[in-house]
């Protein structure tokens, strides 16, 4: 059930009507039942994977909390992590290892046939597996008391607004909201309504319309001659398609949670205005970046007397893990290497740029910021987006090479048509993102904008959805 489908609207209406009539304990049990029903609606086998992981991690967390022996605690931590990683290895990475191992064995003279599991990726696996691992590590570190009630922890794992594509929540944030009684407030419903509406706009008007352009472009026969200006337009189209698809889901998840009295983490903060790769990852898929920072980068970098080289190597490691989190393939391996190179170059050059005095004029500073964001967008948004979406590395290489080696305007190449289409679908998202950045508030439109701005804004978005909105495209990150 996609959030922008009629089936989900009916599902949530029924769930919400019953939810409001129950006390706190029964609310949690009802939400757990609804979350499991939501999971089963995709495939009952996906539910089996979720339940197995929930049982193992819950058991291990209790054993870690109750044992004073560090060795025992470490054994149960390993068991909890293994339960998550084995499921990821089997359902997400088995095909990659099978496809890689077969050619290697053939080179050694061993003839084998590749093994195919015949089952898709369980919905939300990458998200709730990482959430479970973070929970287990926090309990092992004694930074979090485990949930003693299985139903509460099961709801933490399966909470349906965030099940498909996150955000990746921490135990100390979401479990506390599950354990304590919740209040449904007018401000929560108001904010939730805006987030639902804005998420629908991002998904149905921006992402799904750009998907038509992007799918048409990347399905063209290859090899072919590419022209730099068109590649830039297509690269921006890919970026905004992926961004609005993922951010649209995240906003709808947060909006649904607010209706239920929950507060989920913000996952995006206008990443298209980033001026460097570090700034970008502070704004894009924030909960995954924080997870990698707290559970991988920080323990490796600040253990012992790690030097500068170790910090750079750990940065590369984190970027490669983020790439593999998306997909184990050569294309995403190159994607991770490219982003790692951007990170290393940024950190090496940052001390030099910090010495440059800033102009006193705020307008001049704003102009410089805009130029830096525009410059970074080509190297940090367009090129990674092409790598992300291309059907093969040769296709991606040919497109990227055109930006540097064949950057010329060609009449009758439909340059203007593609540019107008992309601008038409993204300008509202860019304007809202810039306004929220200026106000330093991800809910700036409903919170701080005067009524004479809010009213035409909502009306314009509504008619854009009605007139141009489309549906039928699954969430991109549901496949990761």
* Separation between Cα atoms, residue 320 and residue 343, nearest integer Å: 12
SS3 content of the chain, % helix, strand, coil (to 5): 75, 0, 25
Q: What is the DSSP letter of 282?
A: T
Chain centroid offset of residue 378 CA? 21
Catalytic residue from among 58, 140, 285, 326 = 326
Rg for the chain, CA atoms, rounded: 24
CA distances from 423 to 60, 205, 412, 427 (A): 51, 12, 19, 6
Residues 6+ apart with CB under 8 A from 83: 52, 53, 56, 57, 60, 132
**Phi-psi category of residue 435: left, alpha or beta, with phi > 0 → left and psi -120 to 50 → alpha:** alpha
Q: What is the DSSP letter of 381?
A: I
Residue located via tokens 């998550």: 84
* Separation between Cα atoms, residue 325 and residue 285, nearest integer Å: 12
CA distances from 126 to 49, 122, 134, 333 (A): 12, 9, 12, 18
Active site residue 7: no
Residue pair 296/233 in contact (Cβ under 8 Å)? The answer is no
CA distances from 468 to 118, 214, 430, 431 (A): 37, 17, 18, 19
| Residue 284 φ then ψ, to 5° | -110, 130
Catalytic residues: 326
């Amino acid at each position: 059930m996609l959030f922008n489908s009629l089936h989900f609207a009916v599902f949530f209406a029924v769930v919400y009507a019953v939810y409001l009539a129950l006390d706190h304990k029964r609310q949690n049990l009802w939400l757990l039942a609804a979350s499991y029903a939501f999971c089963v609606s995709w495939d009952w086998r996906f539910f089996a994977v979720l339940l197995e992981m929930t049982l193992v991690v819950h058991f291990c967390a209790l054993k870690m909390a109750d044992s004073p022996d560090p060795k025992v605690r470490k054994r149960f931590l390993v068991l909890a992590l293994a339960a998550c990683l084995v499921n990821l290895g089997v359902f997400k990475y088995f095909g990659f290892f099978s496809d890689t191992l077969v050619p290697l064995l053939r080179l050694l003279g061993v003839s084998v046939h590749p093994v195919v599991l015949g089952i898709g990726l369980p919905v939300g696996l990458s998200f709730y597996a990482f959430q479970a691992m973070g929970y287990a590590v926090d309990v092992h570190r004694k930074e979090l008391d485990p949930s003693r009630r299985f139903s509460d922890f099961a709801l933490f794992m399966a909470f349906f607004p965030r099940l498909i594509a996150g955000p990746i929540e921490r135990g100390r944030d979401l479990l506390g909201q599950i354990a304590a009684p919740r209040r449904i407030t007018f401000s929560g419903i108001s904010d939730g309504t805006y987030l639902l509406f804005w998420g629908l706009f991002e998904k149905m008007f921006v992402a799904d319309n750009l998907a038509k352009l992007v799918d048409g472009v990347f399905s063209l026969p290859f090899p072919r001659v590419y022209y730099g200006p068109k590649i830039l337009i297509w690269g921006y189209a890919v970026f905004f398609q992926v961004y609005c698809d993922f951010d649209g889901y995240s906003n709808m998840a947060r909006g649904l949670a607010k209706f239920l009295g929950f507060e989920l983490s913000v996952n995006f903060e206008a990443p298209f205005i980033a001026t460097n790769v570090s700034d970008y990852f502070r704004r894009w898929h924030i909960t995954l970046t924080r997870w990698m920072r707290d559970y991988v980068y920080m323990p490796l970098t600040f253990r012992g007397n790690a030097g500068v080289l170790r910090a750079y190597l750990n940065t590369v490691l984190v970027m490669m893990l983020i790439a593999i989190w998306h997909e184990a393939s050569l294309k995403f391996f190159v994607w991770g290497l490219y982003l790692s190179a951007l990170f290393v170059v940024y950190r090496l050059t940052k001390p030099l740029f910090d010495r440059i005095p800033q102009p006193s004029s705020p307008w001049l500073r704003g102009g410089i910021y805009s130029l830096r964001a525009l410059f970074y967008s080509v190297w940090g948004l367009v090129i990674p987006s092409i790598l992300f979406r291309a059907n093969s590395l040769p296709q991606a290489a040919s497109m990227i090479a055109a930006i540097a080696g064949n950057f010329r305007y060609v009449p009758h190449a439909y340059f203007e048509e593609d540019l107008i289409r992309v601008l038409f679908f993204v300008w509202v998202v860019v304007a809202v993102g810039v306004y929220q950045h200026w106000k330093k508030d991800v809910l700036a439109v409903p919170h701080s904008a005067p009524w004479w701005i809010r009213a035409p804004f909502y009306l314009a978005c509504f008619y854009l959805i009605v007139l141009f909105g489309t549906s039928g495209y699954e969430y991109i990150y549901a496949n990761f």
